[in-house]
Structure 1
Amino acid sequence: MDSWEIFTIIGTLAFALSGALVAFEEKYDLFGVYTLGFITAFGGGMIRNLVVGIPVAAFWTQTSLFLLTFALITLLFILPPALFKVWNRWGIFFDAVGLSAFAIQGALFAKTANESIFAMMIAAVLTGVGGGVLRDVLAGRKPLVLHTDIYAGWALLGGLLIGLGLSHPVSHYVIFVLIIVLRMLTVRYGWRLPRIEKVV
């Protein structure tokens, strides 16, 4: 199993958890929890594939990931409600893991297709933030990527580092941890991009 496959699995499961936890917070029904979990887990990859011209049919070849995602979300229904008081605070962490894993996966995807460094950066952002954007929109929340909070920038950084030639698998895991740490520090210390106020 290569780095691309590993980060695909990590990102899929982390975003599935993130989406399902948001659905529980919004008190969605059974169908809503599965829907939000699956869309968060697979939305970024679908958006990336559409942009780079990969046939939509390729999405349906991920049977094992579908089953893993379904099993993971089902497990959440079995767990006692008391655990969610602790788990809810982990929602941001799962989102950070998904962002990091999918950003790297997207960049590696573009790299294997011999695309330019700019394509790797765009693929990293689309794959990293796509599922989260769809999750937030369906949950009636303002997408994180549109906040002044730094979010997509860390995915862009991951794509840049891989595009600059960090191709060894160990470096991929270092980037993976780096993006998670930077994302969590962003939340902890409220790091934000410059905000321009305009009077209209």
Structure 2
Amino acid sequence: MTWDILNIIGTTAFALSGVFAAMEEEYDLMGIYILGFVTAFGGGAVRNLLIGVPITNLWEQEALFLTAFVIMTIAFLLPRFLFETWRKWGLMFDAIGLGSFAVQGAIYASEMNLPLSASIAAAALTGTGGGMIRDVLAGRKPLFLRQEIYIAWTVPAGIGIGMGWISSMPGYITMLALIVAARMLSVHYGWRLPRSRPIRQQH
């Protein structure tokens, strides 16, 4: 049940995030579907490759593919003024997708009895993989490479779940909410991670 709920939340949020990115770039209908699908399922594919799960397992999620397809179609058919309103929530959808898939990825690695490092990596790649592919296909600089804090917010999920400190639905939902809140606050207040000093070339 926990797995299904997180899957639905993450898939819905990232599918919409992909649709908004595609429509901002004025892609056609097929481009919108492609960008929406890779955003929603790209993170899971990257995670599976990392931890040795057959990537073909993704095709067992037929209900989620159908859910994403319906959501993307509805978003595409929205009147323009409604789309402009919804687009303002694009950051929120991306944050929800980041949080839900980070938690889901950590659970996946933990249930396979993989080490803590795998749990952290699975949280990071499941949470950011779809968005990374979306930005590359849309010709944008990936969010996790920008100055603002993004991928770092997935680490607490990997640690907490990988160490066994979080192992129940209330804990998972709390972690999801914390990641979403941290991501939104970091954007609002412009939080940045420390940067290295530039290396000056000798002449």
Range class of TM-score, shorter chain? over 0.9
Contact 1:148–1:194 (Cα < 8 Å) also in 2: no
> Secondary structure at the residue paired with 1:67?
helix
Matches within 5 A, 1:115-126: 115-126=114-125
CA deviation map 1:113-172 (0-9, x unaligned): 011122111100010000000000000000010112110000112111212321121111
Query: Comparing 27-36 with 53-62, which one deviates more in the overlay?
Result: 53-62
Distance 1:18 1:199 in 2: 39
Q: 4+ runs of 1 displaced by more than 3 Å?
A: none
Give the structure 1 partner of residue 62 of structure 2: 63
Give the structure 2 partner of residue 152 of structure 1: 151
2:185 counterpart letter in structure 1 = L
Structure 1 residue 33 corresponds to structure 2 residue 32: yes
Give TM-score, length-normalised by structure 1: 0.97
1:184 counterpart letter in structure 2 = M
Give the structure 2 partner of residue 198 of structure 1: 199
CA deviation map 1:57-91 (0-9, x unaligned): 21111110110000000001221110122111111
Distance 2:114 2:156 in 1: 17
1:11 counterpart letter in structure 2 = G
Gaps of 5+ in 1: none
Structure 1 residue 176 corresponds to structure 2 residue 176: yes
Distance 1:13 1:87 in 2: 14
Distance 2:53 2:162 in 1: 21
Distance 1:132 1:78 in 2: 23
Contact 2:19–2:76 (Cα < 8 Å) also in 1: no
Distance 1:116 1:92 in 2: 32
2:163 counterpart letter in structure 1 = L
Distance 2:163 2:52 in 1: 24
Contact 2:120–2:157 (Cα < 8 Å) also in 1: yes
Gaps of 5+ in 2: none
Distance 1:128 1:172 in 2: 14
Contact 1:150–1:186 (Cα < 8 Å) also in 2: yes
Contact 2:106–2:158 (Cα < 8 Å) also in 1: yes
Give TM-score, length-normalised by structure 2: 0.95
How many residues are treated as equivalent by the alignment? 199
1:180 counterpart letter in structure 2 = V
Give the structure 2 partner of residue 134 of structure 1: 133
> Secondary structure at the residue paired with 2:89?
helix
> Secondary structure at the residue paired with 2:120?
helix
